[in-house]
Structure formats: C-alpha cells, structure tokens
C-alpha cells in the first residue's frame, strides 16, 4: 500500500496525514426527506439504484439526483398538459413517467427548463440572492444530473438510440478564488470559543482548520473512527482516507470526549452530538460556525464551514506542503480542484512579482521644455 505522510508546522500546530483506501461502510447518516424507492417511477428507480449500489454514491447525492429529475419531469408535464398549468410543481405526480415519456424529451425542452430555472424558479427561502432564478452553479448541477440520466439510458442500458442532451452546453460559471481565514484570523476564531458546548465547538473548529474536513465528513464521524492518533474519514463516493491528528486535534478531541455524555440508541456511536443528544446535523454545524465567527469579530456573512476547509488547504500550501499531498489530504479526485488554492497564496505572488528583473526599473520623469 502506498502511503503518504505529511508533516508541517502551522504556528504551534503540527499536521500529519496518511491516506489509505479500505472498504468501510459508515452508518448513522441522516435520513432523507424523500425516498426514491417509493416515490419515483420505475425508470428513475433503476437509474438511482444504479448510482447508489453500483457507483457507490452517497445517499445524499442520490437524493439530490432524484429531486433534480423529479423537478425536471414535473416541469415537462406541466408545460405539455394545459390542465396542469395552474398547479405548483410540488403538486404534480410523476409516477406515470416511463420510457416513452423520457424518450420524447428534446434539446428544446431542456433549454426551456433552463430558462425556467433562470427566471421563474423560486430560490430556497434561506438564499441571500433574489427571490427567483437559480444561479449558474445550481443550473449547471441540474444539467449534469439530466445528462447523467440520459447517458445511463443511452450508453449503459441501451434503451435510447439518441441522447437528447449530448450537445447541450452547461451554464458558464464565473471562476472565483476561495475565501479563507488568515492564520491570525484562525487563531482569533479558536481563542474566542467559550460558553455552552465550548469543548464540542472548539473540537469541531479545530478539525475543520487543521484537517480540511467536509461538513458531511465531520457530521458522519463515529467514535469508532478514532484510531489513537488518527481519524478514519468517509469522503465523497464512499472513499475512505486516514487523517493523522496533530497535537492540537488530539487535545481538542480529548477535552471534548471528557464531557461527551454516553447515549443509547441509533446515534450512540456518533462522535459529535447535538443538544438533544442526537448526531449533530449539518444545519447545526453551519449555525454554530456562523455564531462562533460573529463572536470572534469576523464577518460571518462571508465565511462558512466550507470556508474553513479552504483555510486549511491554503495554510497547508503556504507552509510548504506539496499540492499533490494536499490533494490527498482533502480527498480531491482531481488535482485541478486542489490547484485553485495555489493561486491564493499572496506571499508567493509577491515574491514572484519581485523576482522579475525589471521590478526595480523606474521610469525617468521627462522635464518640461
């Protein structure tokens, strides 16, 4: 087994990571609000089951596929049937969607759906954006879901001769650099943690900032995932990696476990618990991070739990960790996902600018004649 071990110093914090890839299942993940096994027509159930059982995609990912496709077919049924014109999409049943229906979809239908998403689709009630119209990233994800569905029908199951989405363009995404906390801001955040649940919250923030965990990875952690000086992490696509814990993480875990009360039931093995003694949820972690950021005097509207993951990646690179090693630490499938962090090391950019041999050349001011 190939092993990569990384050590670097971040202030008084040392990191050590070692990715491995055993096959381990993680239990106790959130129960979905919908269940495609009873709410989807057969042709969708087969596709979703393929992704869950064969492609080993997470329940959350499969749920999102189902919601995207259900919304798409509800839209098509309403557009095609005048009798449904006055109904909300949520009121339209899709259990009669079959191969004949999905094979009738054209590129024009899909572009019409994209227009609907751009102009008419209501935003999530918690969105800070406009009341209607999804952003380009959200539309691109929905296009990707539809493309995956039709690729499955055409190339995997050979149920369609023509793929209606093969020539479709995805919305152009605006490329932005990830936001992150500086080292001083990270220390400011950690040093400000006090009050109720301080051991739990401090431990969560420490793991985010030191290990670059995704929020789904953090809330899915179990007590049995602690392996002395390491954590076993279940990442995207059910890929497992082992993250070795530095002194700061070990001390934070030790302090939290000392006050964590044992519970019984389905969440007995959950590492992080809510005030209700249940596995902590993503929304609770999001709210906690925002609360702690604000208490630290940082702009909570600009940062989130995922921005703490950006922070961990950026600080690793700024402290000399190779980009391929950071890729392994973060659990990225593709190096170009990690490479975006190489563009936000301001100190390195300043050094590069000063290294240009013309950096000291100053123009001579012409005297007035």
Q: Are 104 and 74 in contact (CB under 8 A)?
A: no
Which one of the listed residues 45, 60, 306, 307 is annotated catalytic? 306
* Cα–Cα dist 126/352, whole Å: 42
Which one of the listed residues 214, 239, 282, 307 is annotated catalytic? 214
Note if 332 is an active site residue.
yes
Note if 197 is an active site residue.
no
Q: Are 186 and 322 in contact (CB under 8 A)?
A: no
Note if 341 is an active site residue.
yes
Phi and psi of 58, rounded to 5°? -70, 160
Name, in order, each residue with C-beta under 8 angstroms of 149's C-beta and a sequence gap of 6 or more: 44, 47, 65, 69, 102
| Residue 223 CA, distance from chain mean position | 23
Which one of the listed residues 179, 236, 290, 307 is annotated catalytic? 236
Question: In 43-73, which positions are buried (b, 16+ CB within 10 angstroms) versus exposed (e)?
Answer: bbeebbeebbeeeebbeebbbbbbbbbbbbb
Residue 171 vs residues 79, 106, 174: alpha-carbon distances, Å: 22, 18, 10
Nearest to 16 by CA among 311, 181, 253, 230: 230
Residues facing 18 on adjacent strands: 242
Which one of the listed residues 341, 350, 365, 366 is annotated catalytic? 341
* Cα–Cα dist 343/143, whole Å: 28
- In degrees, rounded to 5, the angle at the alpha carbon of residue 68 between the alpha carbons of residues 67 and 72 is 115
* Cα–Cα dist 222/233, whole Å: 9
Note if 161 is an active site residue.
no
Indicate which residues carry an active-site annotation.
214, 236, 306, 309, 332, 341
């Amino acid at each position: 087994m190939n092993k990569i071990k990384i050590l670097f110093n971040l202030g008084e914090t040392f990191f050590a990571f070692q990715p491995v890839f055993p096959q381990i299942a993680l239990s106790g993940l959130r129960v979905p609000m919908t269940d495609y096994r009873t709410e989807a027509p057969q042709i969708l159930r087969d596709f979703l089951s393929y992704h869950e059982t064969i492609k080993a995609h997470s329940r959350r990912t499969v749920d999102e596929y189902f919601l995207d496709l259900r919304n798409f077919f509800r839209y098509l049924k309403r557009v095609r049937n005048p009798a449904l014109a006055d109904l909300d999409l949520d009121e339209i049943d899709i259990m009669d969607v079959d191969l004949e229906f999905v094979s009738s979809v054209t590129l024009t239908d899909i572009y019409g759906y994209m227009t609907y998403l751009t102009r008419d689709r209501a935003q999530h009630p918690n969105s800070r954006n406009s009341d209607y119209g999804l952003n380009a990233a959200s539309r691109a994800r929905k296009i990707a879901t539809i493309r995956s569905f039709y690729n499955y029908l055409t190339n995997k199951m050979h149920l369609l001769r023509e793929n209606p989405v093969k020539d479709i363009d995805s919305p152009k995404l605006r490329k932005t650099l990830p936001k992150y906390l500086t080292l001083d801001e990270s220390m400011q955040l950690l040093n400000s943690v006090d009050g109720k649940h301080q051991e739990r919250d401090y431990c969560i923030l420490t793991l985010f900032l030191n290990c670059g965990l995704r929020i789904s990875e953090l809330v899915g952690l179990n007590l049995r995932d602690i392996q002395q000086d390491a954590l076993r992490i279940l990442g995207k696509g059910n890929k497992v990696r082992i993250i070795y814990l530095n002194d700061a993480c070990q001390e934070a875990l030790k302090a939290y476990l000392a006050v964590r009360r044992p519970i019984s039931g389905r969440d007995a093995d959950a590492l992080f618990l809510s005030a209700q003694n249940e596995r902590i949820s993503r929304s609770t972690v999001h709210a906690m991070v925002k609360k702690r950021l604000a208490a630290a005097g940082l702009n909570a509207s600009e940062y989130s739990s995922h921005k703490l993951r950006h922070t961990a990646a950026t600080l690793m690179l700024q402290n000399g960790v190779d980009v391929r090693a950071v890729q392994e630490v973060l659990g990225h499938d593709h190096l170009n996902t990690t490479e975006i962090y190489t563009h936000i090391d301001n100190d390195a950019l300043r050094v590069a600018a000063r290294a240009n041999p013309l950096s000291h050349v100053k123009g001579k001011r012409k005297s007035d004649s």
